[in-house]
Amino acid sequence: MSISFDNALGIHEKALGFRAQRAEVLANNIANADTPNYKARDLEFSKVLEAQSDKAKNGTFALNMTNSRHIEAEGLGNGDESLMYRTPMQPSIDQNTVDAQLEQSNYAENAVNFQASFTLLNSKFKGLVSALRGE
């Protein structure tokens, strides 16, 4: 009997990848805190999780062109639909929407969630190794 990693690990592998991607986005926001006209961005975990579970249930979708004059849909399904702009709490003179304290707190929260996902994934692997060894 073969072991399916998708069934054994569940959504935890994708959650770990999402947390790493969100860390990059938040770090980019923090790095551009003093850049004029920079717009802060963030990923929303619930939307990414919903999209991943929808892909798992229904598979990926394809758009069919019924007429040769239709414009091809580019960029659909590449993950950028979950990357949103953050609404600023206070307007700034230089139109920058980064709130450094908010970004740092989001980064810290994401780091804790990343560690929790990593620990959970690690325990899943330990359980699989124990099952393979017959312990």
The pLDDT tens digits for 1-54 are 566 766 667 777 888 888 999 999 999 999 999 999 999 999 887 787 777 777
pLDDT > 90 in the chain, percent: 37
Alpha carbons 109 and 45: distance in angstroms, whole number: 12
Across residues 63-68, what is the average pLDDT? 70
pTM for this entry:
0.71
Query: What's the pLDDT tens digit per position in 70-103?
Result: 766 554 444 456 788 888 888 889 999 999 999 9
Phi first, then psi: give them for residue 25, nearest 5 degrees: -65, -45
Contact 121, 16 (CB under 8 A): yes
